Amino acid sequence: MPVFGLLKRGGKVSVHIVTSVSRKELLPIIQHKVLGDTKIYTDSFRSYDSLILSGYKHY
C-alpha cells in the first residue's frame, strides 16, 4: 500500500495510506488538508499536474 504524506512548514505532518497514487485519489486529500491559493512544493510526479488548475501555486 502506498503512503502519501503532507509536510507543513514548522514540522506538522499528515500521513495517509492510499490505494493508489493517482490524481483522483490524492487531490481530494490535498483539497481537504491544504487551503486554496497555497504554495505547494512537490517533485515532478504527474499526479500533481492539476494543482494549478485547482487554485494552488505549484512549484
Rounded CA gap, 49 and 30, in Å? 13
- Lookup: cell for 11: 514540522
Q: How high is the pLDDT of residue 55?
A: 93
Domain range summary for the chain, segments of one domain joined by +: 3-58
Q: How high is the pLDDT of residue 32?
A: 96
Q: How high is the pLDDT of residue 6?
A: 97
CA distances from 56 to 1, 2, 30 (A): 27, 24, 10
Q: How high is the pLDDT of residue 22?
A: 96
Which amino acid is it at 22? Answer: S
Q: How high is the pLDDT of residue 59?
A: 95
- Lookup: cell for 40: 505547494
- Burial class for 13, CB neighbours closer than 10 Å (0-12, 13-18, 19+): exposed
What are the pLDDT digits (tens) for 2-59?
Answer: 999 999 999 999 999 999 999 999 999 999 999 998 999 999 999 999 999 999 999 9
